[in-house]
Structure 1
């Protein structure tokens, strides 16, 4: 499928300038490629029977922390302001999301808000449907672009002063954003330290880094990327929206509820993407937990009447 273009398109001059595109692409390539290289060591470790349960524990812990930092923090709190919370929780969620190493917070938010402003239309930074050709070749090209190709292109990235001026003015967010490198390194140092703490050897520390750092990055990144690609191509459309967003049920447990993507595009500011009792949404459960502890408030939830009015025919 290919969408030729809408009545509106992104205004000129709303693209975030990049000081050194070559350097940025090299960094993106390293961050994208290094976790794939780690699979060689994973295969060797598994073949030799050296995989230890502590490595799995470290992987799961880091996956939960950094993944929820992206879904609850970067996405539902900072991008869509679907709930409010205090400075400590905001800083914690921002740091955990930064440790996922998907880029600095404000840039992430600006790109995602621009995606919603021009979803599957010219100006969308990562649509699989715009200007990729027709037939199966166009579909594959579009899916590759939406999944990770767009990370290397700077012609559609969201201008921070246009798409995230509120975050630029927020001192907590600004601090977390400008210290991104330290949180990214921390996301690697913590599993290294946990491996040493639990195993007591340098080998244990290195396998902790392998699983809780590189393998965790690989899985978190590609689950996130799948929301941009697969969830705009495959799955159900329960609500009428002006884009190709879809609900992909099998991805929901791994994405902490983000793959109820058609639900999300129908109600972007909703804190809960799972609109039915059976739609697993771990991020929503976390937000409910924060709410019950008094750490989150003004949680946005669309009424049943709003949901029924927007339901697809």
Structure 2
């Protein structure tokens, strides 16, 4: 069943990004991508050590969970409540993914849900139509083209709660410093462990640039691939899909169809083989007493949301 939504206002942004930080948007989108392409031949011959791989994996997990558990399920959708140390830690961890300051990220994503796949959505692949040429153009826009738009989503409209939070305001303003930590922190560790400039350089390349590029493209794939192809077992008002192959690298975010059907749910993958690392992390936080009032899905709720109710899994 299709839900009718009001047309988007003509302008959902409140200002333009300053030209200097906008240049950094290009830099952090393009330079890590170049490193990712270069990584393929380099991995075969030289420059990749177990230390580099370990640092890259560790930084990937921490920063991606900061985005998926923190920026997304907690700050954007309120899937659970967190104590103050966890709240601050999630904002910092998400910032290490170099996907933008916390308020910018949350504002864009709340706007996406308000206007998913209709006018007003900042990154719908259906923006230009349904012809093959339009979908190719739309895929590029949804995957990364949209980040080059200087217009910033109105935070007063979409994130008034975060504007009033002094802890989050400090983390938001510290994004540039956290970006430096995210990129140069692994280099510092690599240099100290190997006691060499070469160890610092390879750690910067693999655990800094390549790791950021991989996390960017996995996250952007949720905007592009998970609104174009895949399964739709849940009733959502948009074209969101489940794409199983992205489940592990996206930490469970690619069970995107259920997320759009039930945005505040703390778990997106509910089937027996639907791995959702983010949900498991939230469960751990709950057991430790750091998170509470978690919005776990129920069998009754899933039955209501299922496209074919007889196929709804039990929780």
Q: Sort the TM-score into its range (normalised by shorter chain).
A: over 0.9
Distance apart, 1:133 and its partner CA: 3.4
Q: Contact (CA 8 Å) 2:25, 2:147: kept in 1 or not?
A: yes
- The whole-number CA distance in structure 2 between the counterparts of 1:276 and 1:19 is 41
- The whole-number CA distance in structure 2 between the counterparts of 1:66 and 1:208 is 16
Q: 2:200 aligns with which of 205, 213, 236?
A: 205
Other-structure match for 1:233: 228
Other-structure match for 1:175: 170
1:164-218 per-residue CA deviation (whole Å, 9 max, x = no partner) reads 0000001111110011111111111221122123322110011111111100000
Other-structure match for 2:158: 163
- The whole-number CA distance in structure 2 between the counterparts of 1:57 and 1:109 is 30
SS of residue matched to 2:13: coil
SS of residue matched to 1:81: coil
Other-structure match for 2:114: 117
**Cα RMSD (Å) of the superposition?**
1.6
1:284-312 per-residue CA deviation (whole Å, 9 max, x = no partner) reads 01100010011110001232111101111
Q: Contact (CA 8 Å) 2:82, 2:292: kept in 1 or not?
A: yes
Distance apart, 1:51 and its partner CA: 2.0
Other-structure match for 1:283: 278
Other-structure match for 1:101: 98
Other-structure match for 1:149: 145
- The whole-number CA distance in structure 1 between the counterparts of 2:99 and 2:153 is 15
Q: Which runs of 5+ in 2 are unaligned?
A: 309-315
Other-structure match for 1:16: 14
Other-structure match for 2:312: none
- The whole-number CA distance in structure 1 between the counterparts of 2:282 and 2:97 is 19
Does 2:209 match 1:214? yes
Other-structure match for 2:58: 61
Q: Tell me the TM-score normalized by structure 1.
A: 0.93
Other-structure match for 1:3: none
SS of residue matched to 1:17: strand
Which stretch shifts more, 184-193 or 227-236?
Answer: 184-193
Q: How many residues align?
A: 305
Q: Tell me the TM-score normalized by structure 2.
A: 0.93
SS of residue matched to 1:254: coil
Does 2:52 match 1:49? no
- The whole-number CA distance in structure 1 between the counterparts of 2:170 and 2:22 is 24
Other-structure match for 1:139: 135
- The whole-number CA distance in structure 2 between the counterparts of 1:117 and 1:91 is 26
Distance apart, 1:49 and its partner CA: 3.2
